[in-house]
Amino acid sequence: MGAMESVLALVVGLLLAGLILFFTFLRRGQWPTLRRLSALDALSADLGRSVESGTRLHLSLGDGTLYGPEASATLVGLATLSQIAKAGSVSDKPPLATSADGAVALLSQDVYRVAFRHQRAEDRYDPLLGRIAGLGPFGYAAGTMHTAPDEDVTATLVIGPQGREAALVAEAGSRRGHVVGGTLDPVAQALLYVSADNPLIGEELFATGAYLKVNRAHAASVQAQDIVRWVVIAAAIALAALGTVGIL
């Protein structure tokens, strides 16, 4: 990374951090109005249905790790898990979370432990609710394809870093129920567009925490992203115009 790019990255990072802090501590008691996203409406409905009907929800956290470029999507998946585990821990069949990395599986178990403690149901905590389905992208997909039929799953959430194999997971889930899917890879997003009932496109994946009301900072992040996106778009157009007229 050159010096200019470093400075730009630092400026964007500081701007985002400042905006997140500003929106988090401004109007702390109020939740911002967010536009409707059908995929995240469906996610909430799936969660409610699963608790009421005593069926299981499967969260596919993907085959990523916590130390690669895909870690952000893993963190979004874990934040989603924290909310669905809290709601689902009172159900006869608590949600299942599958991953392909040891550290992610350990964190998912920790999220479950906290969720059960939060509901004063520590005795019902089962560490294998956060499990490894397989190692490697296709090993994970092959293992996860059996989760829906074997564990009486009625809704599958593909929220985490996954490549093209996400379509196999979504297809297996759609045979048993409803599928909501979002990932980082644009090609995998295109595949989820056809294989999931409710695909999450682009940065919609990162809005999951705000819609599930994980905490105020998630909503602040969405607001910060919106502002910085327009700043970046305006800068791109201005630079293109300057380049066209020969100033740059």
Partner 1 sequence: MKFNVSVVVAIATGLITLVAYFIPLAPLQAVRGALLQSGAILATVALMLGAGNLLSVHARKIRDRKPGHLYSIFLVISLLSVFIVVTIFGTQHPYSVWIVTQVQQPLEVALTGLLAGVLVIAGVRVMFRRPHWSTYLFFVTAVIVLLGTAPLPFVAIPVLQGFRNWLAQVPAVGGGRGLLLGIALGAATTGLRVLMGFDQPYQR
- Judged by DSSP in three states, 101 sits in coil
Tokens of 63: 């085959």
Q: Contact between 107 and partner 1 (CB under 8 A)?
A: yes
Rank residues 52 and 191 by Cβ distance to partner 1 and give the closer one.
191
The nearest distance, CB 109 to partner 1, in angstroms, is 8
Task: Report if residue 45 touches partner 1, rule: CB under 8 A.
Answer: no
- 114 sits near partner 1 (criterion: CB under 8 A): yes
Q: Which of 95, 144, 177, 197 binds partner 1 (CB under 8 A)?
A: 197
Q: Which among 80, 86, 60, 37 is positioned nearest to 204, based on CA atoms?
A: 37
Restricting to residues 10-39, name those near partner 1 by CB under 8 A. 10, 12-13, 16-17, 20-21, 24
How many other CB atoms are found less than 10 A from the CB of residue 230?
10
Instruction: Please give the Cα distance from 30 to 236 (Å, whole number).
Output: 34
How far apart CA 58 and CA 45 sit, in angstroms, is 14
At 156, is the secondary structure helix, strand, or coil?
strand
Q: How far is the CB of 192 from partner 1 (least distance, A)?
A: 10
Q: What is the CA radius of gyration of the chain?
A: 19
Point out which span in 29-37, 41-49, 50-58, 190-198 binds partner 1 (CB under 8 A).
190-198
Q: Taking contact as CB under 8 A, which single stretch among the options 41-49, 52-60, 87-95, 185-193 is the one that binds partner 1?
A: 185-193
- Binding to partner 1 by residue 82, rule CB under 8 A? yes
| Minimum distance of partner 1 from residue 70's CB (angstroms) | 9
Number of C-beta neighbours around residue 164 at 10 A: 16
- In angstroms, what is the minimal distance from the CB of 121 to partner 1? 16
The least distance separating partner 1 from the CB of residue 181, rounded to whole angstroms, comes to 12
Structure tokens at 143: 């293992």
Nearest CA among 126, 135, 83, 125 for reference residue 104: 135
Closer residue to partner 1 (CB): 136 or 246? 136
Q: Which of 78, 84, 85, 180 binds partner 1 (CB under 8 A)?
A: 78
What is the Cα 92 distance to its own chain's centre?
24
The number of residues that bind partner 1 (CB under 8 A) is: 75
Site for partner 1 contains 6 (CB under 8 A): yes
Q: How far is 95 from 127, CA to CA, in rounded Å?
A: 12
